[in-house]
Amino acid sequence: MSFRKRRKRKDRRKFRGTFLIPNLITTGSLFSGFYAIVSSINGRFESAALAILVAMVLDGLDGRLARLTQTTSGFGVQYDSLSDLVAFGVAPALLVYLWALQDFGRFGWVAAFLFVACGALRLARFNVQTRTVDSRYFVGLPCPAAAGAMVALFFAAPTSDALLTWAAWLRPQLVEGVMLLALVTVGSLMVSTFRYPSFKKIDLRQRWSYRAYMALAAGVLVLAYRPAAFLLTAAGIYTLSGPVSWLWGRVRRRDDEVPAVETDPSGAL
C-alpha cells in the first residue's frame, strides 16, 4: 500500500469519530430538555423550569470546555444546535403553554409555536454566520437566554409554585397575558439583529481584581437569598441590553453628526 493511500485512510478514520467530553455534556443538556418536556406534560412545572436551568448550565460548559481543550468540531456545533432546539425551544414553549396559555385557545399554541420557530431560525442563522460574525457578540437574543427569561418569569409569577409575596396582588388572568406577550416578544428578539455580548473572550486564566470577587460574592448572596428576583433581574438586564445598546448607538451617532454651517468667502454667515 502506498504512502498516499495510507494517509487518506488515516484521515478518514480521524473524521469518523468525535470528541467524547463536550458531546457528553451536550447529551446531558439534551436530556435535561427532554426531562423538562416530560415534567411539563405531567404537570410538574417547577421541575421542568429547574431542568431548563440545568440545561443552560450544561450548554455553557460544553462550549467553554471545547474551546479550552481545543476539541471543537463541526459535528459538535450541529449537535449542540439540535440539543438547544429541544432544551431552549420546545421545552420552555411547552412549559409556558401548559402552565399559562391553554385558556387562550388557538392564540396560546400559536404563540408557543412562534417561540419554537424563532428559536429554530435563530440556531440556523447562527450556524451559517459562525465564521462571518464577530465572536464577541451574538446577533439576536441567544436561545438559552430566551429560555432563561421565560423561566425567570415563571418563578416570579404569583400563581407558580414559587409564590412571591410582592406579586400576590396580581390576578392570574393578568399573569397569563404577561406570559403570552413575553413569549412573543422574546421569540421576536431571537430573530432580531440586535447584538448581545457572548462573553466568549473572557479569559478565566487571567488575574482579576479583588473588586470582581466582591461583586461575585454579592451576586451569590442575592441568588441565595432571593433566587427568583435575582434570575428575573439578570434575565431582564441581558434581554433588554440588545435594544438599549442599539438605541444608545443611534443617539450617539446622531450627536456626532454636526451639521455643516455654510459661510461666504467674506466671513459673513
Q: State pLDDT tens for residues 82-118.
A: 999 999 999 999 999 999 898 888 899 999 999 999 9
Phi and psi torsions of 209, nearest 5°: -70, 155
Q: How long is the chain?
A: 269
- Determine if residue 262 is left, alpha or beta; phi over 0 gives left, psi from -120 to 50 gives alpha, anything else beta: beta
Distance CA 244, CA 237 (A): 10
Which CATH number is 6-253 given? Answer: 1.20.120.1760
pLDDT at residue 15 tops 70: no
Work out the end-to-end distance of the chain between its first and last CA atoms, rounded to an integer number of angstroms.
87
Q: State pLDDT tens for residues 204-255.
A: 566 666 676 677 777 777 777 888 888 898 999 999 999 999 898 888 877 7
Contact indicator for 242, 141 with CB cutoff of 8 Å: yes
In sequence order, the β-bridge partners of residue 196 are: 138
Please tell me whether the overall predicted TM-score, pTM, comes out greater than 0.85 for this model: no
Largest CA distance in the chain: 89
Phi and psi torsions of 260, nearest 5°: -75, 140
**pLDDT given for residue 161 in this prediction:** 43
At residue 201 the predicted structure's pLDDT band, cuts being 50, 70 and 90, is: low
113 compared with 171, residue with greater pLDDT? 113
**pLDDT given for residue 2 in this prediction:** 56
- Domain borders along the chain are 6-253
pLDDT at residue 134 tops 80: no
Supply 204's cell numbers: 478565566
Distance CA 1, CA 148 (A): 56
pLDDT at residue 126 tops 70: yes
